[in-house]
Structure 1
Amino acid sequence: MLLTSRGRRIGGRVALGLVSTAVLGVTGYAWAQLSRLDGAIVTADVIAPSAQVPAGPAGEPLKVAQNILLVGIDSRTDANGNPLPQNVLDALHAGSGDDGGDTTDTMIVVHIPAGGAAATAISIPRDSYVDLAGGFGKHKINSAYSRGKNAAMNTLRAQGLTGPQLEVKANEAAAKLAIQTIEQFTGLSINHYAAVNLAGFSALSEAVGGVEVCLKEPVQDKFSGAAFPAGKQLLSGPRALAFVRQRHGLPSDLDRIARQQAFLSSMAKTVLDAGTFTDPARLSALVGAIQGSVVLDRGWDVVSFAQQLRGMSSGALKFQTIPVQSLALPTPSDGLAVKVDPAEVKAFVQTTLTSTSVAAVGEPTSGIGIKPVAATSSAAAPPSSTASAPPGMAGCVD
């Protein structure tokens, strides 16, 4: 599928916001910095009351397992609905303010078991062909957001909303449909939501001082702006964004997911192990970037939540990708899509999140936020690049 400026994909941004926010509760200084988020972070009314989980006491382990939906929005507006300046879009190789389709081109469900010292992140390919919630029919899962937003626009305009206020309220309707679709598809109850746009990803990666990545081969892609040598390198800002959103030159979109996962794993290690909490300038920059970049659900007491995850280590974030059956499913109106079996996906999610390794921290997670499903045939591993890394390049990605 050819990539136009309107179809450029962002990828992998929002988990930076979650990882950054979740691990700030380590020292007294970090707590004071995190408290700055209370009055400044952007929130949205998107989680149903029945799915909201009351915040536990700050500093005590997480009492109840929770599922967090992280999305990266292909949007040219900031968290408050204001258009991003053209000079910012130019630096990010993002085209103009009219480019981008308000789709959720990164979707990751993060499951944190009781105890809060581990997390499992499940990536969902953006082109998965599924039944959307709300009676919108069968389409690529990343279009749930844009379809929900477009459907809400006329009603909101009739109510007199315009400009950034219209954008923010329409985004709330969009997020609700995306959340409902993910719940319907995975069988999970989503308890929290976090979203970020392309400029937010750039700011967050800069705030942590860059993230180390490793490539098997050099890459050059004019569409995303990716231009990297082979081997290890430290990326931040627009270069980090180019790394995770490159699409041309990769064997499949699953390889881009592998990049996202490698980047986020390295980012977690950077935040947790590299002295972020004892570096006042870096910590202050990180909190400032979260304030301007991340949208959270309105019921999320993120300060208390971060304190409940204080035992998390850099090795405690594990990534999985749902099983897929084909990367080239012809569709009536959406072009080629990713073929998935909803029953197989639900079984995979349930097995993954109730495994011994996930439930080992704190109380068992069985039955919390997961709807039981019937067993299915064993899932085949999703097709992906199987090229081995060159000598000395173990752990590198395409």
Structure 2
Amino acid sequence: MEPGRSSSRGSGGAPPRRPRSSSTVAPPAPKPKRKRRRVRVGRLILAVLLLFVVASVGLLFYYDGKLHRTEALVPYAGRPADTPGTNWLIVGSDSRADLSDDQRQQLSTGDSDGSRTDTIMMVHKPPSGSAMIISIPRDLYVPIPGQGSHKINAAFNFGGPQLLTQTVEQLSGVRIDHYAEIGFGGFDSVVDAVGGVTICLDQPLNDPKAGLRLPKGCQELDGRQALGLVRTRAFPNADLERVVNQRKFLNALMAKATSPSVLANPFRLIPFVNGAVDALTVDKGDHIWNLMGLAWALRGNPITTTTPTGGDEYTDDGDSLAVGDNTEQFFTYIRKGLPVPEDLLSGTGGVLGG
């Protein structure tokens, strides 16, 4: 080896290590999996929500197709034009036609033939403000188209829902937009489906004709007891006090039906919807979403009142209630969509507290 020259090999004869180039590319880092998992979970949630929406819409149309329908709202000469707000005619029929002998005995309905209206209510949803539940006394003596003057509940017996609706429209000048009817055979099942309704009585009730024996105070009524409560006339003011109880009970039933204890419980909600669909008859143009809107409007604190009258009078139909100037004044406010003055309202009375 020449002096002053270093060897290209180490002492062991191995070649020297070359320094790594600074341009050498590092291996790629593994892709994070968290984002991919989030995407999968998001898609799963979206799919579940979509399935829920599709199923809900499907059930909505399924139950809508099961509703019993009738031609209650039909055109006729002189029918009132559209009036502000939305107006329902709600009828409680006393027909026993669909009841078996056992049901008649269990519900204490008696054996009367024919079909009249134990309950006539107008539900008015004004353009703004609270909804109103308006009882129309069945003894109100009014002209019935083609039949002369009679108590208003006779209109249903003469011509069914069509004639009753026409009679109410001619009396009030208010256009009826929706119709709902419930009979003895369905009312009790609807109440039982929501697990009963809690009511508070200001006095005990004992009416063997209605199969009713209830103590004073707060208690939960099943369907049979509730039917007896809305039917009984065992009061000094008979029908006038009964219609107050009917309004209060309807309000309590709608509040229970739209409460979380029912809406969030399929074991309550589904039987209630089944019971309501089986029990109700609506106009051919009505749908289940209209009924849902009605229930929601009545769940809060609606104004409840009885149609004002001109007082007692004796007619060919016996003891009746006359149509007075206050009757016309009352319905003038309704058909104009205006608040009804306090002096035309009569929401107090009845045996139900509140």
TM range (shorter): 0.7 to 0.9
Q: How do 1:36-185 residues align onto structure 2 when only pairs under 5 Å count?
A: 36-48=62-74, 65-77=85-97, 83-96=98-111, 99-114=112-127, 118-133=130-145, 135-148=146-159, 174-185=160-171
Which of 244, 248, 271 matches 2:230? 244
Matched, 1:35 2:50: no
Matched, 1:347 2:329: yes
Change (3 A) 1:236 1:121: same
Q: Secondary structure of 2:133's partner? A: strand
Counterpart amino acid of residue 101 in structure 2: Q
Which structure would you say has the larger Rg? 2
CA contact (8 A) 2:85 2:127 kept: yes
Matched, 1:286 2:312: no
Q: Secondary structure of 1:35's partner? A: helix
Change (3 A) 1:261 1:31: farther
Which segments of 5 or more consecutive residues in structure 2 lack a partner in the other structure? 1-51
Counterpart amino acid of residue 318 in structure 2: G
Aligned twin of 1:225: 211
Aligned twin of 1:153: none
Task: Give the Cα–Cα distance (whole angstroms) in 2 for the partners of residues 52 and 344 of structure 1.
Answer: 20
CA contact (8 A) 1:323 1:379 kept: no
Matched, 1:335 2:318: yes
Quote the offset at 1:250 in angstroms: 4.2
Q: TM-score, normalised by structure 1?
A: 0.67
Q: How do 1:251-266 residues align onto structure 2 when only pairs under 5 Å count?
A: 251-266=237-252
Change (3 A) 1:261 1:213: same
Deviation digits for residues 248-305 of structure 1 (CA, Å, limit 9, x no counterpart): 24433111111111111111221223421111011110111122111110011333x3
CA contact (8 A) 1:210 1:235 kept: yes
Quote the offset at 1:357 in angstroms: 5.8
Matched, 1:396 2:337: no
Task: Give the Cα–Cα distance (whole angstroms) in 1 for the partners of residues 136 and 278 of structure 2.
Answer: 26
Quote the offset at 1:49 in angstroms: 5.2
Which of 302, 310, 313 matches 1:317? 302
Deviation digits for residues 153-212 of structure 1 (CA, Å, limit 9, x no counterpart): xxxxxxxxxxxxxxxxxxxxx111111100011111111111111111111111111111
Aligned twin of 1:59: none
CA contact (8 A) 2:184 2:227 kept: yes
Task: Give the Cα–Cα distance (whole angstroms) in 2 for the partners of residues 382 and 39 of structure 1.
Answer: 39
Percent same amino acid at aligned positions? Answer: 31
Task: Give the Cα–Cα distance (whole angstroms) in 2 for the partners of residues 69 and 108 of structure 1.
Answer: 6
Task: Give the Cα–Cα distance (whole angstroms) in 2 for the partners of residues 220 and 132 of structure 1.
Answer: 35
CA contact (8 A) 1:252 1:384 kept: no
How many residue pairs match? The answer is 299
Deviation digits for residues 1-58 of structure 1 (CA, Å, limit 9, x no counterpart): xxxxxxxxxxxxxxxxxxxxxxxxxx968765443322211101221258899xxxxx
Quote the offset at 1:76 in angstroms: 0.9
Q: TM-score, normalised by structure 2?
A: 0.75
Task: Give the Cα–Cα distance (whole angstroms) in 1 for the partners of residues 165 and 295 of structure 2.
Answer: 27
Task: Give the Cα–Cα distance (whole angstroms) in 2 for the partners of residues 250 and 222 of structure 1.
Answer: 16
CA contact (8 A) 1:218 1:229 kept: yes
Task: Give the Cα–Cα distance (whole angstroms) in 2 for the partners of residues 221 and 212 of structure 1.
Answer: 20
Change (3 A) 1:331 1:357: closer
CA contact (8 A) 1:93 1:225 kept: yes
Task: Give the Cα–Cα distance (whole angstroms) in 2 for the partners of residues 293 and 253 of structure 1.
Answer: 24
CA contact (8 A) 1:251 1:384 kept: no
Change (3 A) 1:307 1:85: closer
Task: Give the Cα–Cα distance (whole angstroms) in 1 for the partners of residues 323 and 282 of structure 2.
Answer: 29
Q: Indicate the RMSD between aligned Cα atoms, in angstroms.
A: 3.2
Change (3 A) 1:380 1:299: closer
Task: Give the Cα–Cα distance (whole angstroms) in 2 for the partners of residues 216 and 307 of structure 1.
Answer: 31
Q: Secondary structure of 2:209's partner? A: coil
